[in-house]
Structure formats: C-alpha cells, structure tokens
Amino acid sequence: TLRQLHNDMQWWFRASNHDVKIVILTKFDHRQHYILVEKWEEEISYPQGAITRSQAAAISQQNVLEPVKRQSITISRDETTNPVSYNIINRGALV
C-alpha cells in the first residue's frame, strides 16, 4: 500500500541517520492501470506560529528533519485510445 511505502521512506531516512538524501517511491496499481512515482527529501521542520527565543534556540539545536514530497508523477493508461496511450500528471518541478 502507499501507506506502507511512506513508512518505508521514513525508515530509510532514519536507518541511514539521515545520510540518505532522496527516496523515490514507485507504486504500480495493476487493477486501475496507473503508476505513481514520488520523490521525497528531508528538510528542517519549523513550528507554526509564534515562538520564543528559547524555543527557537532549542529547535535550531535539534535540527528536526521532516520528509517533504518534492514531486509526484502519475502515469495512467487511457482506455479510450487505440493504440493505447498514457496520461502523465506531474505535480512539482520535474527534476
């Protein structure tokens, strides 16, 4: 499932002690005829809203990293065409 792939992505970042910089996930759905590709990276997470200087100092020392989806590409089969063609939906900069 996609949820399990997301768990795996988080595991790769943690297990490598954050030495892994990019995780690419690929999900094939044979029933619905699509392929999903996601590119994940980590970035420092900052709390939302106002924070005190002491909170900011504590946060900068912790360097809390959060996974961020940088790109999502969905490739789906167009059943209405002959010969078969594919639709590509890209979310995020193509890199």
Would you list the domain boundaries of the chain? 2-91
Please name the residues in contact with 29: beta carbons below 8 A apart, sequence gap of 6 or more.
Answer: 35, 36
**E strands, 1-95, where?**
22-29, 34-44, 65-78, 85-91
Q: Could you report the per-residue pLDDT of 1-15, keeping only the tens digit for each?
A: 999 999 999 999 999
Q: What 3-state class would DSSP assign to 56?
A: helix
Q: Could you report the per-residue pLDDT of 30-74, keeping only the tens digit for each?
A: 998 899 999 999 998 766 677 777 776 666 666 688 999 999 999
pLDDT at 42: 95
Contact 55, 48 (CB under 8 A): no
Report if pTM > 0.85: no
Between CA 59 and CA 48 the distance in angstroms is 12
